[in-house]
Structure 1
């Protein structure tokens, strides 16, 4: 299928119909905790209305969900149960720290399974948690029932990462909160073919920089820039997203926000919202073995006119890669909920509360 025939959605009509049903019927029960709980900072939404940093997606989701119409206080009507612990918050709590996260989650699951009947009736299959920090991939080592049964909505979503199961789990994008008007620049004014800058913390990045460090059309830098990335992102046709410690980084959100066509240099990666979005319509996925052919691959897109279609489609999907203080239809919050709706358990326990 030619690119101009592709929509940014796999099945737009199906998506919109299901989205409407999801918005009307999805119910989520959040395990309740009081403000006086000694670990309220880990379990309750942040007081800040504007969380920041690379892992803001965790906080924004929790804040948005807690204020949404999807929450029910009647667990008998819940489709899903939210485990509200924040791995990013645990890291900074001196009582827990990185070394105590696994024990905290083990104890938490043990506590709710004894206090409430919901976990045990499905083994946690209708439960989920959200985590964006990479340490989340090992956080469930002492709670294997969470890793195996629960829905893990995580940024670390490589097929080869221990504990991540495609189709059961879901990929969430690592998005910086960005207030204000979305910047734009016409494709004709994007003079650089491709751009990359970042730490040399993987063989993929090392190969990328070594191959293209002296090129005049592909701008690569072997460390983070001291100046804002915005001009480079706005001035480039393509933005290279090379795997570092993790595949998913804030660069995906950066590229899309600045209208730069993402070039994903990572193998076996479950792209965010891949159940819904047709990534080939607005991004270029290149095998890490083909780094040497990058210029040929990208120039072909430009010369054929395909780049203009890709760029136009990037603008169409921008709304899906944004957080808002108050969620807006089809933004990141709603897209995550839709992924959860697709994965909701069909198990119904009759007369459980009779």
Structure 2
């Protein structure tokens, strides 16, 4: 996303949720073994998705306006591993307050080294896809949505960078990689694990302090 100043930050955060009429939505191709199996199961009529208030479609094009409206109306957005390594749809849905439901074994979400995705998303092993209805029913959407609202600013760029935005997290991630590389220089083989642990632990602590400090600034409007 791209905006300007505090006003843009306020606009970037997901709004509301009580009026979202769609429980979970999906738009995209079902190409790829995993998608064919999972989406094929739910699109085949094996489950009454209409009763669940799911809106899953894999055919035809959708206009940007309708796609945006769909995300605003959905509580959860389904993301199943496809043929591409990265897709913008994950972040797009988050920007509109749609809590991600991720079925992609081995996938490390953006900023997973900094953020605890279990606090604002639902994750399920691919093999357990048939449990989706019960998992969503048990999920605390209001809590997940509120946590999502708090982390969305980390994924938004601004024309004038501000503390805690996407440029800030990119710089923090770059610094982390540099520090990890420097710490591992000259380490004898076999010692990397302990060094890696200490570096990651130290960076996590520093990152946590930076996030809290930036959060306080943002609350004050600074």
Once the two structures are superposed, residues 280-301 of structure 1 have per-residue CA deviations (whole angstroms, 9 ceiling, x without a partner) of: 0001111111221111110111
Q: Which residue of 1 aligns with 2:59?
A: 223
Distance 2:55 2:147 in 1: 23
Residue 88 (structure 2) pairs with residue 244 (structure 1):
no
Tell me the distance in 2 between the aligned counterparts of 1:312 and 1:248. 25
Partner of 1:210: 40
In 1, are the aligned partners of 2:13 and 2:153 still within 8 Å (CA)? no
CA drift of 1:199 comes to: 1.5
Structure 2 unmatched ranges of 5 or more? 186-222
1:274-285 alignment, distance < 5 Å = 274-285=112-123
Match of 1:199 in 2: 29
Please identify which structure carries the higher helix content: 2
Quote the residue 2:133 is aligned against.
295
In structure 2, C-alpha distance between the alignment counterparts of 1:317 and 1:298, rounded to whole Å:
21
- Taking a change above 3 Å as real, the CA distance of residues 336 and 184 of structure 1, as seen in their structure-2 partners, is closer
> SS of the residue aligned with 1:269?
coil
Structure 2: distance between partners of 1:223 and 1:330: 38
Aligned to 1:13: none
- Could you tell me the TM-score, scaled by structure 2's length? 0.69
Deviation at 1:189, TM superposition (A): 0.7
Change (3 A) 1:208 1:275: same
**2:207 is the alignment partner of 1:343:** no
Task: Name 1:59's counterpart in structure 2.
Answer: none
Q: Which has the higher contact order (CA 8 A, sep 6+)?
A: 2
- Distance in 2 (alpha carbons) for counterparts of 1:315 and 1:198: 25
Is 1:212–1:218's contact at 8 Å kept on the other side of the alignment? no
Q: From the CA coordinates, give the structure whose radius of gyration is larger.
A: 1
Q: What is the TM-score with the length of structure 1 in the denominator?
A: 0.45
Q: Of the candidates 8, 18, 24, which is equivalent to residue 188 of structure 1?
A: 18
Report Cα offsets for 1:218-256 as digits up to 9, x if no partner: 211113542331111111110011111124311111111
1:309 matches 2:147: no
Q: Is the 8 A contact 1:197 1:224 kept in 2?
A: no
Query: Contact between 1:234 and 1:259, CA under 8 Å: does it hold in 2?
Result: yes
Aligned mates of 1:298, 1:275 — CA distance in 2: 25
Kindly indicate whether the alpha-carbon contact (under 8 Å) linking 1:194 and 1:240 is maintained by their aligned counterparts in 2.
yes
SS in 2 for 1:346: helix
Q: 1:73-152 maps to which residues of 2 (within 5 A)?
A: none
CA distance in 1, matches of 2:127, 2:86: 19
Shift in CA distance, 290/224, structure 1 to aligned 2, threshold 3 Å: farther
| Number of corresponding residues | 170
Which of the residues 97, 100, 105 maps onto 1:259?
Answer: 97
Cα distance in 1, alignment partners of residues 61 and 142 from structure 2: 28
For the residue of structure 1 that corresponds to 2:29, the secondary structure is coil
| Deviations 1:127-174 (CA, angstroms, capped at 9, x unpaired) | xxxxxxxxxxxxxxxxxxxxxxxxxxxxxxxxxxxxxxxxxxxxxxxx
Q: Is the 8 A contact 2:3 2:159 kept in 1?
A: no
